[in-house]
Structure 1
Amino acid sequence: MVRTRIQLKYKDTRSWQEFQERLRHCSPLGLSNTMVRCQPLRPSLHDLADQFSTMRTPVLLALGDEDGPCLETNLMLKTVLPNAGLWICPNTGHTINLEEQAAFNAQLDKLSCRGRAR
């Protein structure tokens, strides 16, 4: 997990410390149940590709280029979601909304403005 979030530490030490502190306060049992029961038992997003292809809701797929485990899945989602945009932020990990707050919010604003114009 830390590997995909290490960019936050490099960019904003205080936010990294807050992130770590919040993580420490999570329920160990809850985290364990999520990792052992929820995540492995749910279908893969790849398994839902046919269902995603029928969605008409605009979607912004936002990820950092340092978030390797999510790159392939987001490329697949961009391919199957008819109204999806893909924004890949350089030198950014999994915590894109914390690492690049202004850029992330600007992307959301663009999507929101486009939606109102329709």
Structure 2
Amino acid sequence: MTSNSVKPIKIAHLCPQKSWGGAEIYAVDLADRQKNQGHETVVWATKDSPVHKHCLSLGIPVRTDVPLNRFNLFNLKKMRKAIEEDQITHLHLHWSKLVSSVFGIKWFVPV
């Protein structure tokens, strides 16, 4: 950690894309930088995607069992369970189509 006054946080980076471009590179780089600053990071990615592979090569924890591709109540419950299991304090979206899913999660996650 860079400062004694900064409390580490647990960040989940949601990056379901199967491609490798600017947003994906940024997500992996940001997760790595945050990890190196003493925060706990985990990337929720699509299995065997470039994001998944790059995170593994950098030692960044990856979850591929979280459904990020569809907005429905079943998937929201699974996302909530993953948030609770990983004790996530912050969600960082790297895909605008996830916004509706995250708003839905709030219905199931106490604030």
Under a length normalisation based on structure 2, what TM-score does the superposition of the two structures give? 0.37
Q: Between Structure 1 and Structure 2, which shows a larger proportion of strand residues? A: 2
Which structure has the bigger radius of gyration?
A: 1
